[in-house]
Amino acid sequence: MLLKNGKVLIQINEDLKFKDLDIKISGNIISDVGENLDCDESTKVLDLHGDFVLPGMINSHYHSYTNILKGTSWGEPLELWSNDTVALGGILEGDDHQLSTLLGAAEMIKMGVTTCIDHIPHLKFAETIGKSYIDSGFKAALAPMVHNIQDREILHGINKYKNSSNPFLSKEEYLDFYESYISKFHNKVNEVTKVVLGINSPQRVDDKLLEAVSSLVKKYDLNIHSHFFETKWQKISADDGFLSPLQRLNTYDLLNKKTSLAHSIWVDDIDLNLITENDVSVISNPTSNLFLGSGKFPLEKYMTRNINIALGSDGLNCGTNHNMLEILRLFLLIQRIDSTNYKNWPNPKQSYDFITRNAGKILNFKTPVGSIQENYSADIVIVDKSNFIEILEDSLLNQLILNTSTLKPKHVLVNGKFLMKDKKLTTIDESLLRKEIKKRTPSLKDSMIGAIEKSSQEKKEFKNVFNSIFNNQN
């Protein structure tokens, strides 16, 4: 296929510019980008008539099960909120996960997002989730969660309430699960899916399990994705231990250039040094962090150390949505509140890279993603030229980042195939999808009410300890 006469966002030296170019696609790969490209008579040609062409955006931290839980919380600190979201997630069945995954994929495609890292807590339904991505054609790095320690066992001040029940898989069961999952979803269907080791967070995994999954990473050369120090309470709790969570990951060779750490707010110099020395990537989730009052991502500390940074939406039940441009804009403006050294503010290219090129480095697909250039995956978003005011060339990228409320693409391609054509989804019947979700709402409503009531007693314990630590309330 040949995309002709587009205004294409490409990297020129150390800058991003829109240039009048053609794009040739061979199979799932961009085979050429240039002016006045030729093709044979059998090649399909789409004349873009000056429409804008962007690399597909990437959501680098996300939980698909939460799409169906939108609006179920007004927001509390993470450790309190988690009681509800764990309970609500626990009521979902396989059909719910399928619907929720497809709903998220549909909404992301419509906003110009073509790839995500899905951090999956419910291993029982991970196969359903993986199949849903393959059916939709939406690209996903699947990171089923590994953990065997509950928060009540490790949070400072609350461990005296330790629960003896163990809801987790054994070490052997985790390994068996991953072996099977990798065989079904790792680098499948032109890399629509790949499997990533999804550590819940370092402090929620004991040493024996870390050692076991480390061998799995080496065997299959897996990337690693984990939550890390999202809240101050987590940081305080980790300070009770002999080794920091990152030192433990490093002990088991789980801290390297293929590791990405979501949130990474409450870091100290030891953490920063380990992240820098091991070429680890960090992922900010500004919307959920604001919603949960978790803190502000220390962008300047990371940028001065040249650490790779990307952005994620996190779960849709914590005050966010799939609009990565909105998340990027919020992220950038928050950083300016208390940073008077404006020369350290990210420039437009650095900013857009957070949701494209930098995220592509984290995903580490065999066929790279996140940029429009030769030998990259043909993950492309085409936007009507009327969305932009073309006066100054340098203003176009600024408009995209700062003035675009919702992108509303005309066409979206993943692996060279249209997932949206002429503003209509091609692989997901959105009308049918929403009808199926509506059918589930009566039974989900009853289950949700029961789940929240059941979690309220444990939540009360967490709330009391939180207030005693942070609000001087006994």
How do residues 315-346 score in pLDDT, each as one tens digit?
Answer: 999 999 999 999 999 999 999 999 888 999 99
Pick the CATH number of 2-54+376-425 from 3.10.450.50, 3.40.50.300, 3.40.50.2000, 2.30.40.10: 2.30.40.10
Mean pLDDT of 255-273: 98
Mean pLDDT of 19-28: 97
Residue 369: predicted pLDDT? 98
Domains in the chain: boundaries: 2-54+376-425, 56-363
Kindly indicate the confidence band of residue 164, based on its pLDDT and cuts at 50, 70 and 90.
low
Residue 393: predicted pLDDT? 81
Least confident range from 55-59, 171-175, 356-360, 461-465: namely 461-465
Which residue in this structure is represented by tokens 């650095």?
350
Mean pLDDT of 208-224: 98
Residue 160: predicted pLDDT? 58
Residue 198 has pLDDT above 80, yes or no: yes
Pick the CATH number of 56-363 from 3.40.50.150, 3.30.300.30, 3.20.20.140, 3.40.50.300: 3.20.20.140
Q: How far apart are CA 465 and CA 452, in angstroms?
A: 20
Residue 324: predicted pLDDT? 97
- Across the chain, what does the average pLDDT equal? 95
Nearest to 452 by CA among 72, 122, 95: 72
Residue 46: predicted pLDDT? 97
Nearest to 146 by CA among 183, 171, 109: 171
**Tens of pLDDT along 415-451?**
999 999 999 999 999 999 999 999 999 999 999 999 9
Calculate the alpha carbon distances from 312 to 61, 146, 248, 289 in Å.
4, 20, 25, 11
Least confident range from 88-97, 175-184, 387-396: namely 387-396
By the 8 A CB rule, do 362 and 368 touch? no
Residue 263: predicted pLDDT? 99
Q: Where are the beta strands (DSSP E) in 75-220?
A: 113-120, 139-146, 193-195, 197-199
Kindly indicate the confidence band of residue 474, based on its pLDDT and cuts at 50, 70 and 90.
low
Give the helix ranges, DSSP H, for 284-384: 286-291, 299-304, 324-335, 348-353, 357-363
Residue 242: predicted pLDDT? 64
Report the length, in residues, of the chain.
474
Q: Where are the beta strands (DSSP E) in 13-105?
A: 15-26, 29-34, 45-47, 52-55, 57-62
Q: Which tokens go with 380?
A: 């492309």
Kindly indicate the confidence band of residue 243, based on its pLDDT and cuts at 50, 70 and 90.
confident
Torsion of CA 457, 459, 461, 467, to 10 degrees: -140
Residue 166: predicted pLDDT? 74
Q: How far apart are CA 3 and CA 42, in angstroms?
A: 14
Percent of the chain with pLDDT over 70: 98
Residue 161: predicted pLDDT? 55
Q: Which tokens go with 286?
A: 């500004």
Q: Do domains 2-54+376-425 and 56-363 have the same CATH topology?
A: no
Instruction: Give the residues across from 115 on adjacent strands.
Output: 58, 139
Residue 47 has pLDDT above 60, yes or no: yes
